[in-house]
């Protein structure tokens, strides 16, 4: 089976490439490298010892994407390509709606034209908005608080409507919680453009001395230690969840939203202390007011993923912290020389 991964050179894309290659799938990557680099593709080949085609193409580029489908027999698509910074989406919403929706519509029209009917979509727990009913399950009402989240919400609806119109179409909408960590080799990992927003990249910058101290956004939340609680999931567990989703998509029809989370919530302080303990490296921090838009607690019900995909996260917080630091130490400037 041949799987096309759009955005396959990105953080979750590269880890999913490794997981699929190691399971014996053939893969093709389509990426415009706006938030990634061809070096990441070389690292995937180094890890797996396998070769595969990659296309430097924007998924919004209709002729460019039709060439990918013309030149290859594609059995399924995993769609990672998209802009994904919450704060940036508030500053330039039209760029987010144009890019994320246009690329998805182009991809789906190509799939229809070339008879490809299996689709796995990189959705996000952000579609649950400010819901407080923890653990979050897939029946929870959805609604977003930022343009990035609304693009995910709208694409989920596009996929449901496509499945309703085409009984042969199959789509799995994977709602990621908080992916962190890196492949144990330290050859691939998260390489945010510019100053990162998320907790783990900022912990890594602090531990590496690039930031004087981590800012802890609020310790007055209604949580055990007052700091924000999230469902952190090892990126390799997430990648394996995509492989399970491909299998499910091929064996089923219709559109199915499925959480990819561990079902465990960890606070910012728990993350800091685990990181320091595992890596014997201090993470100095300062307490700051809450970050606008943050919620106190967010973690998944992993039941549907286990029932439908036969998948459950295996790696714990210590392994996430160890593997993240290993990537940072081996690549102090990410993929940049
Ligand atoms: C986690 C916790 C912060 C940074 C975001 C996106 C979401 C998804 C995952 C794409 C919170 C605290 C953070 C810092 C801190 N991405 N924090 N100091 O906000 O849960 O989710 O990433 O789908 O769409 O919104 O992740 O890592 O930014 O924050 O105290 O310097 O860490 O307040 O409690 P978040 P995060």
Ligand 1, from 217, 267, 284, 298: best to mutate by most atoms within 8 Å of Cβ?
217
* DSSP secondary structure of 124-183: EGGGGTT---SSB-TTS----SSHHHHHHHHHHHHHHHHHHH-TT-EEEEEEE-EEE---
User: 198 CA distance to ligand 1 centroid (A)?
Assistant: 5
Residuewise pLDDT in 10s, the chain (337 residues): 999 999 999 999 999 999 999 999 999 999 999 999 999 999 999 999 999 999 999 999 999 999 999 999 999 999 999 999 999 999 999 999 999 999 999 999 999 999 999 999 999 999 999 998 999 999 999 999 999 999 999 999 999 999 999 999 999 999 999 999 999 999 999 999 888 999 999 999 999 999 999 999 999 999 999 999 999 999 999 999 999 999 999 999 999 999 999 999 999 999 999 999 999 999 999 999 999 989 999 999 999 999 999 999 999 999 999 999 999 999 999 999 7
- Maximal C-alpha separation, the chain: 56
CA angle 310, 255, 58 (to 5 degrees): 100
The predicted pLDDT at position 194 comes to 84
The dotted CATH code for 2-186+232-263+301-313 is 3.40.50.720
Please enumerate in sequence order all residues whose Cβ is within 8 A of that of 307, keeping only pairs 6 or more positions apart, or say none. none
Ligand 1 centroid distance, CA of 158 (Å): 27
Per-residue pLDDT at 207: 98
Q: Which two tokens stand for residue 273?
A: 């202390």
DSSP 291: P
Q: What is the pLDDT of residue 195?
A: 85
Question: Domain boundaries in the chain?
Answer: 2-186+232-263+301-313
> What's the rounded Cα separation, in Å, for the pair 15 and 28?
14
Nearest-Å Rg of the Cα atoms of the chain is 19
Nearest to 72 by CA among 90, 57, 88, 86: 57
Ligand 1 atom at minimum distance from 126 CA: 24
Residue 78: closest CA among 19, 150, 165: 19
Q: Whose CA is nearest to atom 17 of ligand 1?
A: 199
pTM: 0.97
For residue 217, list its beta bridge partners: 288
**Atom 13 in ligand 1: which residue has the minimum CA distance?**
199
What per-residue confidence (pLDDT) applies to 162?
A: 98
Nearest atom within ligand 1 for CA of residue 176: 23
Q: Is the CB of 215 under 6 A from ligand 1?
A: yes
pLDDT given at position 220: 98
Please spell the DSSP secondary structure of 91-137, one letter per residue.
Answer: HSHHHHHHHHHHHHHHHHHHHHHTT--EEEEEEEGGGGTT---SSB-
Q: Is 86 in the pocket of ligand 1 (CB under 6 A)?
A: yes
Q: What is the pLDDT of residues 86-119, one digit of tens each?
A: 999 999 999 999 999 999 999 999 999 999 999 9
Q: Is the CB of 246 under 6 A from ligand 1?
A: no
Catalytic residue ranges: 148
């Amino acid at each position: 089976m041949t799987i096309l991964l759009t955005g396959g050179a990105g953080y979750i894309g590269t880890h999913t490439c490794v997981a699929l290659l190691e399971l014996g799938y053939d893969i093709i990557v389509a990426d415009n490298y706006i938030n990634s680099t061809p070096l990441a593709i070389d690292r995937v080949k180094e890890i797996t010892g396998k070769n595969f085609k990659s296309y430097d193409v924007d998924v919004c580029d209709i002729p460019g994407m039709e060439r990918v489908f013309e030149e290859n027999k594609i059995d399924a698509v995993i769609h990672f390509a998209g802009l994904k910074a919450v704060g940036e989406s508030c500053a330039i919403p039209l760029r987010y709606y144009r890019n994320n929706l246009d690329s998805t519509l182009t991809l789906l029209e190509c799939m229809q034209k070339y008879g490809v009917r299996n689709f796995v979509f990189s959705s996000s727990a952000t579609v649950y908005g400010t819901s407080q009913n923890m653990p979050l399950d897939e029946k929870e009402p959805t609604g977003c608080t930022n343009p990035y989240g609304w693009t995910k919400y709208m694409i989920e609806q596009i996929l449901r409507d496509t499945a309703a119109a085409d009984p042969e179409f199959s789509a799995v909408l994977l709602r990621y919680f908080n992916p962190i960590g890196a492949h144990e080799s330290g050859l691939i990992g998260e390489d945010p453009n510019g100053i990162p927003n998320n907790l783990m990249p900022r912990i890594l910058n602090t531990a590496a001395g690039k930031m004087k101290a981590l800012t802890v956004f609020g310790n007055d939340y209604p949580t055990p230690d007052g700091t924000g609680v999230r469902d952190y999931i090892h990126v390799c567990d997430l990648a394996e969840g995509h492989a399970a989703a491909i299998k499910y998509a091929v064996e089923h029809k219709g559109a199915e939203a499925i959480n990819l989370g561990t079902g465990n919530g960890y606070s910012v302080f728990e993350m800091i202390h685990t990181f320091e303990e595992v890596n014997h490296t201090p993470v100095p921090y300062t307490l700051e007011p809450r970050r606008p838009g943050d919620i106190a607690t967010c973690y998944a019900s992993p039941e549907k993923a286990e029932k439908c995909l036969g998948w459950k996260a295996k790696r714990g917080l210590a392994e996430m912290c160890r593997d993240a630091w290993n990537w940072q130490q081996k690549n102090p400037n990410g993929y940049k020389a």
